[in-house]
A = this chain, B = another copy of it.
């Protein structure tokens, strides 16, 4: 039996899945994290182990392997990495994790993928070209991400301290964190990593959904930033204003929150350009990209 393998690497774990050529998953192997910018030899080990286990346990011939690796864009040693995988399969593609998501979510077709988790980026593909907007990281934007929503919420509390006007939202945020003052909040904030900061996002979204006007303002501002990135990515795709562009949304913030998705869709709609939203598929691994990639 012929099969293909897709590997989705991330900061938490690496998921390698073998698929029939019709896209049915056969077997899955999970190993540890694989991010080239964090630790490339660990990434190599985890990807290699996942692939060797899978190749040893599936009968038949592996026709192709597609690996989506975080940090590949800026990585200098891509070819060496490929060689060091040292696998019996010739057809191995190393692509960026965002590209893997792009192929998986759009099934290899043209369109845009909006990813909003801790960070945010819009990636697109049109006529074999790939492009992106946003995704510049937490210091330079990441509009619409969990980090961005949380940052705006903490900035709100500092603004209220400077304005001497505490809002219900600012008070609720301090209470939620069991803190007494803006100074305590700041001291904590600067000790948190990005993922910890982003964990405030569900609180902000819940406050907005419950009708808090300050939280609604924050969510609309953040979503507006991401909507701008979507429109910019659409322009990079050179679609005409009458083309209906496919758009998939993914990442923890958007997948888990209908309310936030709706706010984002409204902000996008304001630009007056036609889009079709693909259904959310959080249970389908981006490793499925290997199947679309092979069919191409």
Partner of A164, one of B136, B164, B229, B235: B235
How far does the alpha carbon of A158 sit from the alpha carbon of B133 in the complex, in Å? 9
Find out whether the CB atom of B187 lies under 8 angstroms from the CB atom of A74: yes
Find out whether the CB atom of B232 lies under 8 angstroms from the CB atom of A190: no
Find out whether the CB atom of A141 lies under 8 angstroms from the CB atom of B163: no
Find out whether the CB atom of A158 lies under 8 angstroms from the CB atom of B186: no
Which residues of B sit under 8 angstroms from A261, Cβ to Cβ? none
Which residues of B sit under 8 angstroms from A186, Cβ to Cβ? 136-137, 140
How far does the alpha carbon of A133 sit from the alpha carbon of B154 in the complex, in Å? 15
Find out whether the CB atom of A155 lies under 8 angstroms from the CB atom of B141: yes
Which residues of B sit under 8 angstroms from A133, Cβ to Cβ? 162
Which residues of B sit under 8 angstroms from A155, Cβ to Cβ? 136, 140-141
Which residues of B sit under 8 angstroms from A190, Cβ to Cβ? 137, 139
Q: A74-B187, A164-B236, A232-B162 are in contact. Are A151 and B136 (CB under 8 A)?
A: no
How far does the alpha carbon of A190 sit from the alpha carbon of B163 in the complex, in Å? 32
Find out whether the CB atom of A183 lies under 8 angstroms from the CB atom of B74: yes
In the complex, whether A6 has a CB less than 8 A from a CB of chain B is no
Which residues of B sit under 8 angstroms from A256, Cβ to Cβ? none
- Mask, A173-197, CB within 8 Å of B = 1, is 0000000000100110110000000
How far does the alpha carbon of A164 sit from the alpha carbon of B133 in the complex, in Å? 10
In the complex, whether A73 has a CB less than 8 A from a CB of chain B is yes
How far does the alpha carbon of A187 sit from the alpha carbon of B140 in the complex, in Å? 12
In the complex, whether A146 has a CB less than 8 A from a CB of chain B is no
In the complex, whether A108 has a CB less than 8 A from a CB of chain B is no
Within 8 A of B (CB), among A148-164: 151, 154-155, 158, 162-164
Which residues of B sit under 8 angstroms from A229, Cβ to Cβ? 162
Find out whether the CB atom of A158 lies under 8 angstroms from the CB atom of B183: no
Closest to A163 in B: B232
In the complex, whether A170 has a CB less than 8 A from a CB of chain B is no
CB distance from A89 to the nearest CB of B (A): 31
In the complex, whether A117 has a CB less than 8 A from a CB of chain B is no
In the complex, whether A134 has a CB less than 8 A from a CB of chain B is yes
Which residues of B sit under 8 angstroms from A187, Cβ to Cβ? 74
Which residues of B sit under 8 angstroms from A139, Cβ to Cβ? 139, 151, 189-190
Closest to A155 in B: B140
Partner of A158, one of B140, B151, B236: B140
Which residues of B sit under 8 angstroms from A232, Cβ to Cβ? 162-163
Find out whether the CB atom of B154 lies under 8 angstroms from the CB atom of A140: yes
- Chain A to chain B: the 3 pairs with minimum beta-carbon distance, closest first: A133-B162, A162-B232, A136-B158
7 intermolecular pairs with C-beta atoms under 8 Å apart: A73-B183, A74-B183, A134-B162, A137-B190, A141-B155, A162-B229, A162-B232
Add 5 more A-B contacts to A136-B155, A140-B155, A162-B229 (CB < 8 A): A134-B162, A136-B186, A137-B186, A140-B154, A141-B155
